[in-house]
Amino acid sequence: MQKKHLFFDMDGTLSPSRSLASPEILETLESLIETHDIIVVSGSHNKQMRVQLPELPIIQLGQNGNHAEHPVEGELWNDILTEEEKAPVFEHMKKMRELVTTEVPDEDDLIEDRGSQISFSLYGHHGDAAVKRTIDPDFSVRREMMKQIPFENELVEAKIAGSTSIDYFKKGRNKGYNVARLAAQYDWDLDECVYYGDALFPGGNDETVVGIIDTIEVKDPEDTLRRLRQLL
């Protein structure tokens, strides 16, 4: 069946971490907008997505989909974490920080409270993108950290995300849940939806989309571009 609704992860899929997408990616997405819905599901703020994909009329599912904004209709939902939900997250991040052996440029840049999500970075959210790609390129460092200190909580869950991050958000309100939520809101046929992501592995923040809609695993933005050109 023809795919009409194209969902994408951001960092590592459409662009390097917190970086502007390439002209080729931007041009390709723009060429698809007339015939397809373009939805980006990212752990970042929606405003950060605007920096990486400027001027594209996309549906933004920021903070793993917990803050949804439509380019015409405006905000669709925003699921904010409560103080009760945040407390165990900060305790867990404190323990995770003790496992980090890499020298970090700014201690104050490791944690971002984004409202609907809290993110912990091994190196720094605003650190040099090229350096960040060398910290944990195959996600093995964070997998081992999560194995050593699992996050077990009834209200919040944690997923490996981006190039150096671990994301914490409301239990069950993961990417898969929010992809299904958006599709239901617009009565989209799930068979006409597809998701592109680089973290579809167990524990990755794209994993929860598996089984909701079709998924395509990509290695990096260049791989995404090749696959999109095949679609065109």
Q: Tell me the CATH number at 117.
A: 3.30.1240.20
Does residue 166 contact residue 136 with C-beta atoms inside 8 Å? no
Q: Which of 132, 139, 142, 113 is nearest to 45 (CA)?
A: 113
Whether residue 88 is found in the same domain as residue 146: yes
pLDDT (0 to 100) of residue 83: 96
Residue 75 shares a structural domain with residue 180: yes
Q: How many CB atoms lie within 10 A of CB 181?
A: 16
**What's this model's pTM, rounded to 2 decimal places?**
0.85
Structure tokens at 86: 């945040």
Are 151 and 183 members of one domain? Answer: no
**Which H/E stretch holds residue 63?**
helix 62-65
Its sign, for the CA torsion 13, 198, 205, 162, is negative
pLDDT in tens, 128-186: 989 998 999 999 999 999 999 999 999 999 999 988 999 999 999 999 999 999 999 99
Domain final residue pick, 170, 188, 219: 170
What is the per-residue pLDDT across 40-98, written as a single tens digit (0 to 9) for each?
A: 999 899 999 999 999 999 999 999 999 999 999 999 999 999 999 999 999 999 999 99
Predicted confidence at residue 115, as pLDDT, reads 93
Residues, the chain? 232
Distance, in Å, from the CA atom of 221 to the CA atom of 145, rounded to the nearest integer, reads: 26
Shared domain check, 186 and 75: yes
Could you tell me if 75 and 183 lie in one domain?
yes
Domain count, the chain: 2
Which domain does 164 fall in, by range? 83-170
Q: Is 168 exposed, middle or buried (0-12, 13-18, 19+ CB in 10 A)?
A: buried
- Give the pLDDT confidence score for residue 203 in this predicted structure: 85
Q: What is the mean pLDDT of the chain?
A: 95
Residues 174-231: tens digit of each pLDDT: 999 999 999 999 999 999 999 999 999 988 889 999 999 999 999 999 999 999 998 8
Q: What is the DSSP letter of 81?
A: P
